[in-house]
Amino acid sequence: MSDFTKAIEHLSRSDKVLRGLIRKVGPCLLESKNHRSPFEALLQSIVYQQLNGTAAATILGRVKALYPGRRFPRPKDILATTDKRLRGAGLSRAKVAAIKDLAANTISGIVPSSKAIRSLSDEAIVERLTAVRGIGPWTVQMLLIFHLGRPDIWPVGDYGVRKGFARIYTRPDLPSPKELMGHGEKWRPYRTVAAWYLWRALDLE
């Protein structure tokens, strides 16, 4: 998804508050980074969980350094590496178990290839990927938005989306995921773009 004209028109018609935010923020600049395979994108997501960006990038760099001559390790490379070596790169025991499960599920086909994933529905992708240890719905939603460019992903559990919603609707408390799910119905089929604008609301004074 790269032309957001129809999405912005629909969102502006359906919600005057969101229309005001769109006017303040300007054009949607959401970009999908689809040069990585699902395995690569998910492995990076696992490494980054519960860490600040600098620390996570350092650990990911150490993991990749275990495989000289490769831009990124393959699933079979991960499985052939001892837990001790991966722990030595800075990964916790839980993350070592998670990336090994990810590698095994990629080899078995549960985690689809870059080509195969494009033919799957959003729901099918969520169902398959959340079967992997350490991968929850939020992680898959971020993959659908930023890797696959799917237009109607609505991450109602995302803190930034909830905070942005509370800000533009001048609410003292964060909305519940259930409330956001109901409110987002009028934004279909462009809820990804709505989420992007709610994230941007946090950048405004």
pTM for this prediction: 0.87
What is the CA angle 139-38-58, rounded to 5?
70
Contact 202, 160 (CB under 8 A): yes
Q: Are residues 60 and 85 in the same domain?
A: yes
Which DSSP letter does residue 175 get? P
* Strand, helix or coil for residue 169: coil
Residues 66 and 136 in one domain: yes
Q: Is 122 a catalytic residue?
A: no
Where residue 115 sits, what CATH number does that domain have? 1.10.340.30
Per the residue annotation, which of 83, 158, 173, 203 is the catalytic one?
158
Phi-psi region of 149 (alpha: psi -120 to 50; beta: other; left: phi over 0): left
Of 146, 162, 177, the domain-final residue: 146
Domain that holds residue 25: 5-30+153-201
Residue 136 sits in the same domain as residue 42: yes
Based on the fold, state whether residues 142 and 157 are members of the same structural domain: no
In b/e form, how buried is each residue of 134-169, taking b as 16+ CB within 10 angstroms? Answer: bbeebbbbbbbbbbbbbbbbbbbebeebbebbbebe
Q: Tokens for 43?
A: 């492995």
Query: For the domain that residue 190 is a member of, what is the CATH number?
Result: 1.10.1670.40
The kind and range of the H/E element at 3 are: none
Distance between alpha carbon 200 and the CA centroid of its chain, in Å? 16
Overall number of domains in the chain: 2
pLDDT tens track, the chain, 205 positions: 568 999 999 999 999 999 999 999 999 999 887 778 999 999 999 998 888 889 999 999 999 999 999 999 999 999 999 999 999 999 999 999 999 999 999 999 999 999 999 999 999 999 999 999 999 999 999 999 999 999 999 999 999 999 999 999 999 999 999 999 999 999 999 999 999 999 999 998 6
